[in-house]
Structure 1
Amino acid sequence: MRAHQLTDPVAYHGEGPVWSPRWGGLRWVDLLAGDVLSLQPDGVVTRRSVGEVAAALRPRPGGGAVLAVERGFALEDVHGTVTALPPVLPPGTRMNDGGCDPDGRFYCGSMAYDHRTGAAALHRLDPDGSTHVVLSGLTISNGLDWTPDGSRAYYVDTPTGRVDAFDYDPASGLTGRRPFVTFPEDGGHPDGLTVDAAGGVWVAAYGAGAVRHYTAAGVLDAVVEVPARQVTACTLGGEGLDELFITTSREGLAAGDDPLAGALFSVSGVAPGQPVREFAG
């Protein structure tokens, strides 16, 4: 499969695509610009600033969104007003990628600006506003999503070169971490991911210009070619949840290198996804 280009290179570091009918379609972030981008039905991209960093977001049932910003979390109300919560990260680190569990709790993992090994953690924001460290000793915390039945989660700490699996239940949270798949040396670096309705895992291959699809058994059965090398994340959306939206980055690239980097791409007619899990707070 080959993805086609939906937008111009509108982002410096595109990340975190999310499809939700509640907010009218697709949103994603230009992470280091602190902007949330929205794809309008006519193909126009709009943007608005939510802070120094916009790392991840999910809808709230009553409207608005929960956001991961530079050093913690923030809540957007139905009027678009963003209120930052107390920081949870130390200076020199930032939030990076996340998602909601089946019980409506929002997770986001971090990374150090200098990519220090072990300086990152996975944090969880509960609906009551409390925060918790779920995993520590990480380096570049990336993709996180759950299976349709909610019993398993898939997670990426990029330098490991793996997608890991966890068992999940509301009381114990994420337990039993073990490798699910390991990327080949020439396969790029695992980044953002999404889980489809059949339990298959779509994983962005940063540096390889691809999204890799693994069955629930961990078998690679499809590769989507993307005409930009630094593929960061993906999600399933559209009316039938069968369109794969793919974000890309031009962070660290020289002018003129990889000219489509920063554009949004898609491929239609793939295995359908799951409705987005919302933050219950």
Structure 2
Amino acid sequence: MNRINAEPFSTPLTEHGEGPVWLGERGLAVLDMLAGDVLLVDSAGRLTDRIHVDVVAAAARPRKNGGLVVGIERGFALLDTKNVIESHIECWDDRDVRMNEGATDPWGRFWCGSMANNLTPGAGAMWRLDPDGTTQRLFDQVGCSNGLAWSVDGHSAFFVDSLSDRIDRLTFSPAGELTGRETHVDLGGIGFADGLTVDAEGGIWLALFDGGRLVHFDAAGTADAEIVLPVRQVTACAFGGDNLSNLYISTSRYAMERPEPLAGALFVARPTVGGLPVPAFAG
């Protein structure tokens, strides 16, 4: 298996870093998830802003006309171009269930999946925020919603329920409606699957929480490369930088018994294949 090097991109910035996303000239957004904060980091790895949005900040994506859409503890928040919260949208009232990772689709809608705080199997669901502000509960029986990213052609998406030990492929109609779900990769117990991203050739980079690495699967689903980090709790990854050629990696120091000096820092690697632009939320 090919091994690619990673290097620190920032100092430790988060307790539980998650969900990096490239914002172009604004640099990188990354989440301190359980602090409920969105952090903005410039192209040199320097923290430029920390925005508190809720008890939980589960996922963030840019909006078409500026600002951010964020998955929060029990729903969604919209931030304007000055990072001020415009609105909160609550989807449920059970405090034992919270959002956990999401992404925008090619039709400009924002998806975010939920999980029980105690990881009860099947207690979560996949939700979608549409540009008009309405929400839909798309499917249930989610254990721990994690990586979500669309394919190169936009006709399908790759989704991780960390309790399922697999990467699933979701398929869509031409109008963007969910039509099917099947196993894309059986992970075979390689570790606790966390965030993922898709590269320009249809391969998948998958973070393994508590595994200290990311694994790459080619378009056919075969593992062919890895990135090993000096921290165990590797959470998510996203392409960014010039030509989307950098792979930014978030890490966590949450509940660590043995502190690691670089846990909570961002890392960067440079695979031979770069990434895809992130669709903006159309609302």
TM-score (norm 2): 0.94
What residue identity is the alignment partner of 1:87?
Answer: E
Q: Aligned residue for 1:200?
A: 203
Any idea what the Cα deviations from partners look like across 1:221-254, whole Å, max 9, x if unmatched? 1101111111110011111101110001111212
Of 29, 43, 46, the residue aligned with 1:44 is: 46
CA contact (8 A) 2:16 2:254 kept: yes
Q: Aligned residue for 1:240?
A: 243
Asked if 1:156 corresponds to 2:160, the answer is: yes
Q: Aligned residue for 1:123?
A: 127
> Match of 2:163, SS?
helix
Q: Aligned residue for 2:260?
A: 258
**Number of residues of Structure 1 aligned to a counterpart in Structure 2:** 278
Alpha-carbon RMSD across the aligned residues, in angstroms, is 1.4
> Match of 2:82, SS?
coil
- Provide the rounded CA distance (Å) in 2 between the counterparts of 1:24 and 1:191: 25
CA contact (8 A) 1:244 1:270 kept: no
- Provide the rounded CA distance (Å) in 2 between the counterparts of 1:272 and 1:45: 24
Query: Could you tell me how far 1:178 is from its partner in structure 2?
Result: 1.1
- Provide the rounded CA distance (Å) in 1 between the counterparts of 2:122 and 2:212: 27
Q: Aligned residue for 2:90?
A: 87
Of 98, 105, 121, the residue aligned with 2:102 is: 98
CA contact (8 A) 1:209 1:230 kept: yes
Query: Could you tell me how far 1:115 is from its partner in structure 2?
Result: 1.1
Asked if 1:179 corresponds to 2:183, the answer is: yes
Asked if 1:112 corresponds to 2:116, the answer is: yes
Of 138, 144, 164, the residue aligned with 2:142 is: 138
Any idea what the Cα deviations from partners look like across 1:56-78, whole Å, max 9, x if unmatched? 11111111011111110011112
Asked if 1:5 corresponds to 2:8, the answer is: yes
- Provide the rounded CA distance (Å) in 2 between the counterparts of 1:228 and 1:270: 23
- Provide the rounded CA distance (Å) in 1 between the counterparts of 2:82 and 2:10: 27
Q: Aligned residue for 1:78?
A: 81
> Match of 1:240, SS?
helix
Q: Aligned residue for 2:277?
A: 275
- Provide the rounded CA distance (Å) in 2 between the counterparts of 1:270 and 1:133: 38
What residue identity is the alignment partner of 1:62?
Answer: N
Structure 1's 151 and 16: CA in aligned 2 closer, same or farther, altered over 3 A? same
Query: Could you tell me how far 1:108 is from its partner in structure 2?
Result: 0.3
> Match of 2:66, SS?
coil
Of 65, 68, 75, the residue aligned with 1:65 is: 68
CA contact (8 A) 1:164 1:179 kept: yes
Query: Could you tell me how far 1:258 is from its partner in structure 2?
Result: 2.8
> Match of 1:32, SS?
helix
Query: Could you tell me how far 1:257 is from its partner in structure 2?
Result: 2.7
Query: Could you tell me how far 1:170 is from its partner in structure 2?
Result: 4.8
- Provide the rounded CA distance (Å) in 2 between the counterparts of 1:203 and 1:174: 23
- Provide the rounded CA distance (Å) in 2 between the counterparts of 1:203 and 1:238: 19
- Provide the rounded CA distance (Å) in 1 between the counterparts of 2:163 and 2:249: 21
Of 147, 152, 163, the residue aligned with 2:151 is: 147
Runs ≥4 residues deviating over 6 A: none
Query: Could you tell me how far 1:171 is from its partner in structure 2?
Result: 3.5
Flag structure 1 segments of 5+ consecutive residues without an equivalent: none
Asked if 1:213 corresponds to 2:212, the answer is: no
Any idea what the Cα deviations from partners look like across 1:245-275, whole Å, max 9, x if unmatched? 0001111212x43332211111024311111
Flag structure 2 segments of 5+ consecutive residues without an equivalent: none
Of 24, 35, 38, the residue aligned with 2:37 is: 35
